[in-house]
Amino acid sequence: MGCCDPKTKITDQVRLYFTVILILSFLSCTIYDNNLDNPNDNEANEELGVYPPSLVFFPKQQTKTLTDTIRLGAYIVFSDTSIISFSGAHLNIQYDNSMLEIDSLAPGWIGPGSMTDSNRTTPLFTYTENSGQLDIYAYYLSTSDVSIDSVTHIAEIWFKPKSTGTSTVSYDTSLCEIVKFDENFIPINGTREASIIIQ
Amino acid sequence: MKFLFLIFFSIEVIYSNVEKPSILIFNQYDEDLIGTSVANHFPSKNFVKGENINPFLGSLDSLTNPASGRMFLVKDLGSELDVDYILFHQISGDSNRFMLEGQMFNTRSGGLIKRRIVDITNYYKGQMNELKLWIGDVFREVDKEWVSQRKQVLYNEPSQIIQDKTPEGAMARSLLLPGWGQFYSDAYNSGIVFSGLESVLLTSVLVSYLNYNKSVQEFKKYSKLYEESSEQIEFDKYRVLSNSEWEKHKKYNSALIYTSIASGSLWLINGIHAYIVGPRPKKDIIQKWDVAIPKQK
């Protein structure tokens, strides 16, 4: 068979045709994973086996440099249909003080709206910090039940990085407490930690 | 008895040209159609005209070994009539078709030493010339005038005939562009159908791909916004949007695969169809010598 033989040409064409089809098929068949994960989202937490009420940090992971400031939110996630008359919380937060140091803290808010919303309810807020352990006490001094969202922001924490590496910030559930309006405890069913990468 | 007639007609020729190769010639055609005898064109050869043509009429290809299938007949005739070669010609055809089969046997070995099958349509006034070319080819005495005459009515050399349009050409065109091969083969209706269907399917593939791509971009955008939202009202909204786009990208991906398969299959079918309906000559103008003809049972 010579190079210009019509049958050779057609065989080459058919081969090229199938190659193109195969390449297009492989390129077009990408199905992305739908792994939505937000620590403040109860649906995502339940898929991971973390049931409400749970203590979480937001965001779950962040990468920073030594010159950056690290901002981390501490939240309680209740069920979407929760009618618990939540009133206050004591959070015990563990962190690696060889890599991170507390820069500042700010109280969170309760009720609908954001931190800039005038409807927010500001709690009585205190904290103590001692060698990699941060205790936050937040109480809402309302005389009646407080209408709450399923996501309740307790505090916003700013860290300063001290050295590079990967560090986790977590809750010690044996020391954490959530109390109702009548000062009875609400059991904590799960926690999620935060991962901080300092480059 | 049958050979006595042959001897009677050929004896004078044999004895007058002892030095020349003698050829016993069997012709099955209308002499009036062909015109003058071929012997006049080959004066250096000593032709003996055979009468009983029947033993040569059966198909050579039906024999177990076509080259040696008539060995005994040829040898017997050769020794009886003292001829060197036997030439058999058969011409048949209708008003627009000319079919010539020429067979050349050596009486010493009894084997077939040359054969030619010519099958030409619309070849007028060239039959005798084709016969002369065949015999001239056998004895290597081809006159330039005969070749020139063939050029005037046919081609320079039958083996060099190249068809302008071929089924392979039609298939190649259709594989490049659906419907092209059908238009090339003058099958306009099927050309319109194939090019139309393929256009619709390719448009569907393109639309599916664009929608798939858009859904992927939206899915990534909403997933990022979802993960960056700390407030419930926001991440609830982005979760719904992200899930919706994820479902869409799956749906468009399936549509893309199915339309691509349909389009690809139709493209291939269109190529095969173009080959089937591709232009072919109604008959082979010149049959090749090595054409395999099924043997008769």
- Domains belonging to chain A, first-starting first, are 51-198 (2.60.40.680)
- Mind telling me how many Å the CA of A36 is from chain B's nearest CA? 7
Q: What's the CATH number of domain B2-160, 3.30.1490, 1.10.530, 3.40.50, 1.10.3470?
A: 3.40.50
User: Considering only alpha carbons, which residue of chain A is nearest residue B206?
Assistant: A28
A113: confidence class by pLDDT, cuts 50, 70, 90: very low
- Mind telling me how many Å the CA of A183 is from chain B's nearest CA? 26
- What value does the mean pLDDT take over residues B48-63? 82
What is the ipTM, given to two decimal places? 0.80
- Report the C-alpha gap between B115 and B289 in whole angstroms: 8
pLDDT in tens, B168-184: 899 999 999 999 999 99
pLDDT of residue B238: 95
pLDDT of residue A125: 85
Within 8 A of B260 by CB-CB distance, chain A residues are 21, 24-25, 28
Residue B245 has pLDDT above 90, yes or no: yes
- Report the C-alpha gap between B190 and B188 in whole angstroms: 6
pLDDT of residue B142: 87
- What value does the mean pLDDT take over residues B269-275? 94
* Any A CB within 8 A of B211 CB: no
* Any A CB within 8 A of B183 CB: no
Within 8 A of B264 by CB-CB distance, chain A residues are 21
Cα distances (angstroms) measured from residue A72 to each of A24, A103, A157: 44, 11, 5
Domain ranges of chain B: 2-160, 167-276
Strand-pairing partners, residue A92, are: A135
* Any A CB within 8 A of B210 CB: no
Q: What is the DSSP letter of A121?
A: B
Find tokens 């049972």 and name the residue. Answer: B297
Residue A169's identity, in one-letter code, is V
- Report the C-alpha gap between B272 and B35 in whole angstroms: 48
Q: Which residues, in sequence order, are CB contacts of A146 under 8 Å at separation 6+?
A: A85, A86, A87, A110, A111, A121, A140, A181
pLDDT of residue B14: 46
Within 8 A of B171 by CB-CB distance, chain A residues are 10
Residue A56 host element (H or E): strand A54-58
Residue B227 has pLDDT above 50, yes or no: yes
- Report the C-alpha gap between B85 and B47 in whole angstroms: 9
Residue B204 has pLDDT above 90, yes or no: yes
Burial class, B151, CB count within 10 angstroms (exposed 0-12 / middle 13-18 / buried 19+): exposed
Cis peptide before A59 (omega within 30 of 0): yes
Tokens of A57: 């940090």
Strand-pairing partners, residue A159, are: A70, A102
Strands B112-121 and A177-180: unpaired
Phi-psi region of A183 (alpha: psi -120 to 50; beta: other; left: phi over 0): left
Find tokens 């091969």 and name the residue. Answer: B181
